[in-house]
Structure 1
Amino acid sequence: MTRDFLKMLMVSFASALVLSGSVAATPAKETPWLPEAAAYRLTLFLGNLEPLPWNDIEIAWTEPYRGSELSIGALAWLDRVSDIDPARLLDAIADEDRQAVFAEATRLIALRIEEELDRAIAAEDPARAQQTVRTSRELYRAFADGIAAAEPAAAKQIGLAWLELNSSTGSAGVLGAGVTSADRDTMAAARAVISGYIAGNYLIDDFAPRRTLSALPETAVLSGRAIEVPPSLPPGSDIFDQDPLPRLVLNFEEQGIDETGLPLVAYGDMLFDSAQIFGGPARDLGLACSTCHNRSDVNQRLFIPGASHQPGAIDVDGAFFNPIFNDRRNDPLDIPSLRGLRFTGPYGRDGRFASLRDFTRNVIVNEFGGDEPTPFMMDALVAYMLEFDFLPNSMLTTDGRLTEAAPEAARRGEAIFNTPFASLGDRSCASCHVSDANFLDRQAHNIGSVAPAYEGARAGALDTPTLLGTAYTAPYFHDGSLPTLAAVVDWFDETKSLGLTGAERADLTAYLETVGAADEPYEAFDAENTAFRLAFSELITFASTLDTLLPRRDARHILLLTDTVAADLSADASTMSNLAARPGVYALAEKLAEVSAAVRDEDWTAAEASWTAFKAETADIEERAF
């Protein structure tokens, strides 16, 4: 679904279907980057953060980017494959000169492209020539989105030149047959198109000052035109759902109520999965509430360089998502689970929001720069999230007592959990994690896990987290600094001088693991009960709210729904295992697009007709949608 590597989720539909402004919440797998191109893109991304993380920029060039297929950093890679000296770039980084870093990094990538093109032209072996052309084109990818945004005609011309260059390198044939010689004249002409553009825009002596670092060509910058480069996440980012996928437990479903009979809840479910409610860049990248909170739980793989210090954490009040909300502190927080949300107020890590509604609005408007949500949107989101329930655990009663299924070590640990300690002011673990109140006390406490920002600061108090389901939400503490529940026990024993023996620590850990366990923590899939079938069922449920919205002629909320669901239907179809049914899913997306188009034209008769057709086609394809 991406228009370029990790410029996620601007979706083109099958059959030339175009949805204006539609963004899907399902990311596409990224193509690996060459080390120096990855370092360059990270430099652009990090260079736009305030305050600028100079240490991270240095690391971008010295270490492999997260998830790289190569265990080598850009500088070591350059030493292996290139004759280019990166000394001037290193000096600029050492001097913390933002403009110089941009200029030297840009020239380095341009020189690498030229270096590989020289090798391609000089190669006698067709296979070698093709390989160097591929390498140079992979390096060109670092500039491609900027060129496409600024000069689409030039981008098209260069794209054709790459094709001509590659096709004119010749072929060694197969077993001596089909041998063709390189067409040197065509190669030279194609190379001239590429190199001429690179030389005039990325290999210049002095770049115009950049307020925002991007891959825009120099001629476009000098023109003074307002050019918007689509936002992108840097190499090493990961916004995919975690695997295995957490099981979602909803209060109404456990009571046998179908979500299609709860249109307010179903619309809130859609909003929770919609990037449309946020502002840019989150919206344009396809980030939704469900990106961080997979199935109401924690996305333990989510990672964005510059915003995350480790997977499963993110700084939502930094410079990237909403500059006006930037607190200028590098303080990423561990993503909290939303299970049992109606029991866990107040909200926010430090309990600063008494109201779930206020907390949710803050996320949309302040953290992610979205427009003010309508009262209906807020009602729907809150109604849906209040249905999140804890995972069932047969080793625990609903009032927090262990059942006979619990191991003996956990029973011993329960006694320790309820034992008052003098070093805790004659309080016990259970004083804060009240077992018959979902292991909560709904208060904030300063346990010493937050370093004071200044002498005398009293900002270390954090909301007491529930212990339910915590076996699956590692790492722990607000900053994810402790990797296991055993580490949590060790931390409390050491910092609070509890005086536990090794055996007692083990028993207390066993108790926490038992309380935090679940019978079925993850979704179970098989050949037909696939992840796509689950997504398909959810999207059809979202769409069912049109039965309520269309009669009300509620254009604003209809369009938000159709744009979200149609884009996701089309995007998710690519994951189907039943390939024969894929065209039918694309056709459903088209029907929703027709509803959207009719509503925009205020043709409510046509909108109703397309919606009726959508429901009929859904019934026809539902069994084959896996």
Structure 2
Amino acid sequence: MIQHVLRVILFVIVTSLAVTGPSFATPAKEAPWLPEAAAYRLTLFLGNLAPVPWYKVEQAWSEPYHGSEYRLGALAWLDRESAVDVGDLTDAIGWQDRHAVHVAATRLIALRIEEELDAATAADNPAVSQRAVATAKELYRAFADHIKAADPDAARTLGRAWLELNNATGSAGVLGAGAKEQDSDAMTTARAVISAYLAENYLVADPAPRQTLTAVPEAIARTGQPVELPAALPPGSDIFDQDPLPLLVLNFEEQGIDETDLPLIAYGDMLFDSAEIFGGPARDLGIACSTCHNRSDINQRFFIPGASHQPGAVDVDGAFFNPMFNDRRDDPIDIPSLRGLRFTGPYGRDGRFASLRDFSRNVIVNEFAGEEPTPFMLDALVAYMTEFDFLPNSLVTGDGQLTEAAPDAARRGEEVFNRPFVGMGNQSCASCHTPSGNFLDRKSHDIGSVAAAYEGSHAGALDTPTLLGTLYTAPYFHDGALPTLASVVDWFDETKNLGLTDAERSDLTAYLETVGAADEPYEAFDTANTPFRLAFAELTTFASTLDTLLPKRDAQHILVLTDTVAADLAADAGTMANLSSRPEVYALAERLAEVGAAVRAENWAAAETSWSLFKTDAAAIEEKAF
């Protein structure tokens, strides 16, 4: 999804738009979490999965979280930085007692906040006091959003207390100028507000067991009143687009056809980039098809703790996205590329879906808990996805033969690739990865890469993947177990007793790398083709389908579009090099939101007017440099 890679700096939630329907947050980079605060939030997240992955809970406290700026895990960090006893927590994790872990972890964070507040009020140096308050506030972050959702009045009171506490710490000034003495009385008063709330809600002697583990204050939790918590991913998550961004090759574009002349395809393109077709939590987090499949390829940085065992993988039938579809198995898979999709059926890692339409519906409804898509939505999605083409590769012909530009090592490797081996039942690599068939046979085979689920199981057969474009899609195998194409060659040689020499292994690897190469694998940005211009062109193309939908008075599909594109336009404005023109793009987004508002009000004349103004304004913006 192009907008995800572009929002690394700016996070905009479009609250000013005239949209009364659903909206979703777009991904934003988070500030680093302190190790113990990160471990706490990971514990809440993992503790709500079924079954609880206890080894991951233990890892949350013993190892740095994914992408952490700290080299120490939470327990090692606490051992160095704190005097708070962690024995109750480690015991509870060992017992695999969900309630006890929640109680101990919550209490630990509250005690750490108190420990830092003690240091702040005891310090007679403003700098020391300020650092302690800042640390305490970072720890309070582990509770803050849940307090705000469950007890907004208290959240405001606590917010003022934190501000007053920070202001009362004093300042050493700059080179002695502007120095401000500490106000001990004000610090004590502000600290008392925070400590009293922690004592009442996070340091209670006997907290009630919770069906869902949260940081909701105990006083609110005991009332039993429902609390709508904001959608949030645990620390260490990464759902931004891959960088560099994969190049998207669309069949119709290569033939010179404009997408705005293909409304069904353009609408499907929009749906592929829209979180609106999914249910919560994916929709609320801004996760769309293109979040995992950047520009039809793979997002190799996608990672959600508890749902991913490594970047570029996800367990789509676990407890997080749709508990109803939870198979209770920890079996994340490597995200597959969708390039050349119309040639690569059947679909699913084990080829369980013969139809791309059925596969797409399963993704929306079962994997990501979305509402039943309309026939038009499925038609549009399939129409768009079947336009995905393989990356052009001047080293390989259309029927899978090496061209004269291919290196000599690849030519030698081609002979090995086509050689029958006794260890593979007198078949060759080419028997399954048929060169003339886009290097696949559209069948499923059990090559021994999947551990048997039970004695006598035949569940290890997997769909043959294409080799085209694979140089850029590491790691390999269904679970991403092998990091390089060379390791794939080694695996087959060793498990199938192929008896390859070192030279043959090297040559076969060279052949795979040549077949899997591309002339231009990534999007090339420059002063003319900027990230914003690419995103702007996509979004205005999506909007162009209103020329077809408005005359049909198709409110349902119009609103999916306006809710998606209006918010994305405003968020993408943050990537503009032309800063002075950002307000124009925000205004353009609001104009599209006005179309949606008018449609909701069944004021079709107003919708047509706003759409006409949108097109005029968009054309004017397109003329400028971004």
| TM-score bucket (shorter structure) | over 0.9
User: What do residues 419-470 of structure 1 show as CA deviations (whole Å, max 9, x unaligned)?
Assistant: 1112222211111111111011110001010010000000011000000000
1:434 aligns with 2:406: no
What residue identity is the alignment partner of 2:460?
A: G
> Corresponding residue for 1:395?
395
- Counterpart in the other structure of 1:469: 469
Identical-residue share of aligned pairs (%): 74
Query: How far apart in 1 are the matches of 2:100 and 2:379?
Result: 50
Q: C-alpha separation between the residues in 2 aligned to 1:375 and 1:406? A: 45
| Corresponding residue for residue 127 of structure 1 | 127
Alignment of 1:24-103 (within 5 A): 24=25, 26-103=26-103
Q: Which residue matches 2:14?
A: 13
Shift of 1:126: 1.3
In structure 2, give the amino acid aligned to 1:314: V
Name the structure 2 match of 1:452: 452
Q: Distance in 2 between matches of 1:460 and 1:175?
A: 70
Pair 1:489-2:456 in alignment: no
Instruction: Output aligned runs, 1:590-601, within 5 Å.
Output: 590-601=590-601
Secondary structure of 1:145's aligned partner: helix
1:273 aligns with 2:284: no
Query: Are the aligned partners of 2:19 and 2:597 in contact in 1 as well (CA < 8 Å)?
Result: no
Shift of 1:14: 7.0
Partner Cα separation in structure 1 for residue 151 and residue 485 of structure 2: 54
Task: Quote the Cα distance in structure 1 between the aligned partners of 2:13 and 2:483.
Answer: 41
CA contact (8 A) 1:333 1:480 kept: yes
Match of 1:410 in 2: 410
Residue identity matched to 1:396:
V
User: What letter matches 2:223 in structure 1?
Assistant: S
Partners in 2 of 1:88 and 1:199 — Cα distance? 18
Partner Cα separation in structure 2 for residue 129 and residue 291 of structure 1: 43
Q: What is the TM-score when the length of structure 2 is the normalising length?
A: 0.97
8 Å Cα contact 1:9-1:27 kept in structure 2:
no
State the distance in 2 between where 1:579 and 1:571 align: 14
Could you tell me which amino acid in structure 1 is paired with residue 22 of structure 2? Answer: G
Cα deviation for residue 56 of structure 1 reads 0.7
Residue 361 of structure 1 contacts residue 378 of structure 1 at CA under 8 Å; is this kept in 2?
yes
CA distance in 2 between counterparts of 1:460 and 1:173 reads 67
CA distance in 1, matches of 2:160, 2:550: 46
Three-state SS of the structure 1 residue aligned to 2:222 is: helix
In structure 1, the residue matched to 2:145 is 145
Bigger drift between 573-582 and 210-219 goes to 573-582
Letter of the 1:131 partner, please give it. R
Distance in 2 of aligned mates of 1:457 and 1:471: 32
1:128-160, Cα deviation, whole Å (9 max, x unpaired): 211111111110010011111111121112112
Is contact 2:334–2:479 with CA below 8 Å preserved after alignment? yes
Which residue of structure 1 lines up, in the alignment, with residue 583 of structure 2?
583
Q: Residues 506 and 428 (structure 1 numbering): CA distance in 2 closer, same or farther, change over 3 Å?
A: same
| Aligned amino acid, residue 577 of structure 1 | A
- Residue equivalent to 1:3: none
- Note closer, same or farther for the CA distance 1:465–1:272 as it changes in structure 2 (3 Å cut): same
AA aligned opposite 1:21 = P
Contact map agreement 2:18 2:594 (CA 8 A) in 1 = no
* CA distance in 2: counterparts of 1:225 and 1:536, whole angstroms: 43
What is the Cα-based RMSD across aligned positions, in Å?
1.5
Distance 1:14 1:281, change over 3 A: closer
Q: What residue is the counterpart of 2:358 in the other structure?
A: 358
Secondary structure of residue in 2 paired with 1:624: coil
Task: Provide the secondary structure at the position in 1 that maps to 2:365.
Answer: helix
Question: How much has 1:17 moved relative to structure 2?
Answer: 6.0
> Could you report, residue by residue, the CA deviation over 1:510-545 in whole angstroms, capped at 9, with x for unpaired residues?
000000000000000123422121111101111111
For structure 1, list consecutive stretches of 5 or more residues without a partner in the other structure. Answer: 1-5
| Equivalent pair of 1:19/1:563 in contact (CA under 8 Å) | no
1-side partners of 2:41 and 2:224: how far apart?
23
Gaps of 5+ in 2: 1-6
Hey, what does 2:523 align to over in structure 1? 523
After superposition, the Cα gap between the structure-2 partners of 1:512 and 1:617, relative to the gap in structure 1 and judged at 3 Å, is: same
Q: Does the 8 Å contact 1:10/1:284 carry over to 2?
A: no
Higher RCO (C-alpha 8 Å, min separation 6): 2
- Across the two proteins, how many residue pairs are aligned to each other? 619
Provide the residue aligned with 1:296 in structure 2.
Answer: 296
- SS of the residue corresponding to residue 235 of structure 1 reads coil
Matches of 1:28 and 1:302, distance apart in 2: 14
Q: Is the 8 A contact 1:11 1:22 kept in 2?
A: no
Match of 2:306 in 1: 306
Say whether the 8 Å CA contact 1:19–1:593 is kept in structure 2: no
Structure 1 residue 216: deviation in Å?
0.7
Secondary structure in structure 2 of the residue aligned to 1:180: coil
Q: What's the CA shift for 1:10?
A: 9.2
2:3 counterpart residue number:
none
1:346 to 2:324 alignment: no
Residues of 1 paired with 2:71 and 2:11: CA distance?
A: 31
8 A Cα contact 1:23 1:286, kept in partner: yes
- State the alpha-carbon separation in 1 of the partners of residues 17 and 222 from structure 2: 35
- 2:319 maps to 319
Q: Which residue of 1 is the match for residue 335 of structure 2?
A: 335
Counterpart of 1:43, as a letter, is T
**Conservation of the 8 A alpha-carbon contact between 1:493 and 1:499:** yes
Distance 1:53 1:191 in 2: 37
Contact kept, 8 Å, 2:467 with 2:515, in 1: the verdict is yes
State the one-letter code of the partner of 2:191.
Answer: R
CA distance in 2, matches of 1:458, 1:423: 20
In 2, Cα distance between equivalents of 1:135 and 1:18: 39
Cα offset for 1:9?
11
Supply the distance in 2 between the matched residues of 1:13 and 1:344 (Cα, whole angstroms).
39
Structure 1 position 200, deviation (Å): 0.7
CA contact (8 A) 1:11 1:23 kept: no
Matching residue of 2:105: 105
Change (3 A) 1:195 1:625: farther
Counterparts of 2:224 and 2:441, CA distance in 1: 57
Residue 236 of structure 1 aligns with which residue?
Answer: 236
Name the CA distance, whole Å, in 2 between partners of 1:123 and 1:370. 54
What CA distance in whole angstroms lies between the structure 1 residues aligned with 2:125 and 2:605? Answer: 65
Q: Show CA shifts across 1:22-63 (max 9, x none).
A: 115x41111100000000000000001111111111111111
Say whether the 8 Å CA contact 2:569–2:586 is kept in structure 1. Answer: yes
Contact 2:278 2:369 (8 Å CA) reproduced? yes
For residues 9 and 128 of structure 1, what CA distance do their matches in structure 2 show?
32
Between 1:248-257 and 1:146-155, the stretch displaced more is 146-155
2:419 alignment counterpart: 419
